[in-house]
């Protein structure tokens, strides 16, 4: 299992994990879930239960570069273009455009 911590505006919101069998799960941090802050994404509402998916959640996939930028990142960082989770972990760290970013655990 590989995990990244998800942050929203610098505050830890939860953990995104990828399992060996290929499934994904997102779990909100208790403090974030109980706060009045908005959910990470409309498609991932705040709740105690774990969100599960067989593919990388569309919101997180949407943070990834496409086209020439994707090819350049994958070539430079030696990442398989189809390994979306590793691309997310390596390219969507602090400093990414928008309020949400991730850091490897």
pLDDT above 80 for 94: no
Reduced to 3 states, what is the DSSP secondary structure of residue 95?
coil
pTM of the entire structure? 0.91
pLDDT band at 95 (very low <50, low <70, confident <90, very high): low
pLDDT at 29: 97
How many distinct structural domains can be found in the chain? Answer: 1
Q: What angle do CA 41, 65, 53 make, to 5 degrees?
A: 45
pLDDT at 83: 94
Q: Which residue has the higher pLDDT, 91 or 15?
A: 15
For residue 86, give its domain range.
2-104
The average pLDDT across 65-94 equals: 93
pLDDT at 98: 82
pLDDT above 90 for 6: yes
């Amino acid at each position: 299992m590989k995990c990244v911590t998800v942050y929203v505006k610098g505050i830890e919101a939860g953990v995104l994990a990828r399992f060996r069998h290929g499934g994904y799960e997102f779990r909100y941090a208790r403090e974030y879930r109980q706060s009045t802050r908005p959910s990470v994404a409309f498609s991932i509402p705040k709740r105690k239960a774990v969100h599960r998916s067989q593919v990388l959640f569309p919101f997180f996939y949407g943070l990834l570069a496409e086209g020439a930028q994707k090819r350049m990142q994958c070539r430079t960082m030696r990442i398989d273009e189809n390994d979306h989770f590793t691309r997310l972990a390596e390219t969507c760290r602090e400093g990414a455009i928008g309020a949400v970013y991730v850091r490897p655990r």
